[in-house]
Amino acid sequence: MQAARHVVCALSGGVDSAVAALLLRRRGYQVTGVFMKNWDSLDEHGVCTADRDCEDAYRVCQILDIPFHQVSYVKEYWNDVFSDFLNEYEKGRTPNPDIICNKHIKFNCFFHYAVDNLGADAVATGHYARTSLEDEEVFQQKHIKRPEGLFRNRFEVRHAVKLLQAADSFKDQTFFLSQVPQDTLRRTLFPLGGLTKDFVKKIAAENRLHHVLQKKESMGICFVGKRNFENFILQYLQPRPGRFISIEDKKVLGTHKGWFLYTLGQRANIGGLREPWYVVEKDGVQGDVFVAPRTDHPALYRDLLRTNRVHWIADEPPAALVRDKMMECQFRFRHQMALVCRVLPWGRVPGQWEDPASGAVCLHTPEGQEHVHRGPPGLQQRPRLRSCTLSAWAQR
């Protein structure tokens, strides 16, 4: 008789990862739970719940009767995620640490710990996502070390694993998994991919997991938690006082503690003003933040976005894009933002950038369509010539 497949499940101390481990246990797998500590509370002046989360994860393992391990990636998180987070903010960009954390911590450090140290046949997380592989296909995958350089062996025969959207479209987390490497994705299980959040809670309630069911949803920066963002970031970056200036008449409306604290399109909380104003542009030299009234102000919209190098989950760009030098795609730059149809050109867009970096792409509205996507407030602001990383991720 074949030994039970060994799956190492990342446990956060929350309800989703707890139910993921439970479902794996029900499938007859040998399950091991691992809690990752990625933030050192001794370096933090705010509230850190890592110890409580670890205790909750350990209790889940006790209830499910599975082994429990704790690992610390505080150093790796600081070097690979948080330092990048601070550097990006200092440059005036708004990074997404959850995406970088998944790339470097969960699907790199944790993955290799599970496979190399615990002998896992596969890893699992509580993300709401799916892949194109069935469980047994995942177990048949072998880790293949990528060759040095940008491209893989052209004669190597591989069928890329697809990252697919979850059944619960509201909870779908494929946006945060958009930079997971192909070799890791092909050995990962997502037990919650076909379930809704309500059903996950029901499973938890029926299986003595009340201690995680009662916890609030985790919010805020990955592994750092929910806190006053401005106060938190100014513990690490030097304040740079500046002015809020109206984009319409150049009138000074107020002051702020740092232009890097604001994201293009976000609401700017300007003291003494009743009406909401929104960030249009930032001047890193003078320290000014230009703002506009109303969410439908023309200055908030752009029909063009430049990116840096693309991360293709399948390792290579789609054949249609290579062949035709453009393709239609669905696009979002924020989690839970409605997907919109756009054209993805490959390389230089005439009249825009003479020589974008190798692999650079630009997005623009297909000819004949409206240049502005009129969506709900908060989703319709488009970045203004904002550099970002584009990832080709989930398919329906």
- Give the active site residues: 101, 222
Residue 14 in 3-state DSSP? coil
Closest alpha carbon to 373 in 330, 327, 340: 340
The beta strand positions in the chain, using DSSP E, are 6-10, 30-37, 68-72, 122-124, 130-131, 163-164, 188-189, 242-246, 252-256, 267-268, 277-283, 288-293, 304-306, 311-312, 326-331, 340-345, 362-364, 391-392
Region of 359 (left: φ > 0; alpha: ψ -120 to 50; beta: rest) is: left
CA-to-CA distance for 361 and 304, rounded, in angstroms? Answer: 11
- Rounded CA-CA distance 34/221 in Å is 21
**Given the structure tokens 């805020």, which residue do they identify?**
220
- For residue 314, CA distances in Å to 158, 218, 340 come to 10, 30, 22
Strand partners, 364: 304, 343
